Homo-oligomer: A and B are copies of this chain.
Amino acid sequence: MATVTTRKKGTVRLPQEQRVSDIMAAARQVISEKGYENTLMSEIAERAGVVEGTLYRYFDSKRDLMTKVADAWFEEVLESDTELPRIQGTRERLRYLIWRALMSIRRQPAMSRFMLLEVRQNPDYRHTRSFELNKRMTAEISLLCGQAIERGEFRRDVSVPILRDLIFGCIEHRTWSFLRGEGDFDIDEVADGIANVIYRGMAAVDRASKSEIENVVERLEKVAEKLEERAGGKR
C-alpha cells in the first residue's frame, strides 16, 4: 500500500511565469509540427524540460493548454500590425485586410491550420480569446463596409454580413487549398482578385458610367446647337 515516491534531487524551481512561457513555447512547437490530435502531452513536457504532471500545475487540460497557445499566437499576429491605421481609402483598406490575413497564413501555415481547424473543435470555442479576436477581425471588415455604404460608396442593397462572409470565407477557402498543398498562390494577386470581384462584380453586361453618357449627350448637344445656329442664320 505504502507508495514509495522517490524524487530526483537537483530539480530547479523557476519563477512561474518562466515555466509557463517555456511550456507554451514547447507546446507551440509540437503543435505546429504535428497538429492537435497527434500532439502528446508527454512530448510537450519533454521539450519544456519538465515532467508530464507539471503541465497540469499550470494548465487544466490538454485542451486548455492548446487554447492558450492559440490565443497567444493570434494576439501576437494582430498586435504586430502597425500598418492598418495608416492606410486610407476603402478599397485600399479592404485590400490590406485581405492581404494581412493571407500573409499570416503564408508565414505560419502550421499554426494557421491549427487555428482554422483544430481550435474550433473546442466545445466552448465561443468563450475563448481566439474567438473574440476573430470576431474583432471580421468586425473591422464589417465596419469598413458599413461606412462605405453610409458614404454611398457601396450599394445600399447589399447585406454587410454576406459581404463579410464572402471576404473571410474566400480567404479561408483559399487557405485550405494551400495548406493541403494543392498549389501555391500569390498573395497580391489573390487580394486584388477578391477586391476586384467585390467591387465590380462578375457580370459582363456592357456598362458605361454616368459621366460617359454625359459626355455623349454633350457632344450631341453641341451638334444640335450648331445645326440650330445654321438653321437660325438661314432664316
Contact = CB atoms under 8 A, between A and B. Distances in A.
A220 B210 contact: no
A123 B34 CA distance: 10
Given A220-B224, A235-B234, A166 B194 contact: yes
A70 to B, nearest CB: 15
A155 B200 CA distance: 10
B169 A174 contact: yes
Contact of A204 (B125, B152, B169, B176): B152
B203 A154 contact: yes
Interface in A188-203: 189-190, 193-194, 196-203
Main secondary structure of the interface of A (DSSP, over half): helix
Contacts of A99: none
A184 to B, nearest CB: 12
Contacts of A169: 165-166, 168-174
Contact of A216 (B123, B126, B217): B217
Most chain B beta-carbon contacts within 10 A, residue among A145, A189, A193, A206? A193
Contacts of A11: none
Contacts of A117: 117, 120-121
Interface in A96-123: 117-118, 120-121, 123
A83 B200 CA distance: 31
A140 B121 CA distance: 29
A13 interface: no
A235 to B, nearest CB: 6
Interface in A138-177: 145, 148, 152-159, 162-163, 165-166, 168-174, 176-177
The 5 A-B pairs at the shortest CB distance, nearest first, are namely: A201-B201, A169-B169, A169-B173, A162-B193, A220-B220
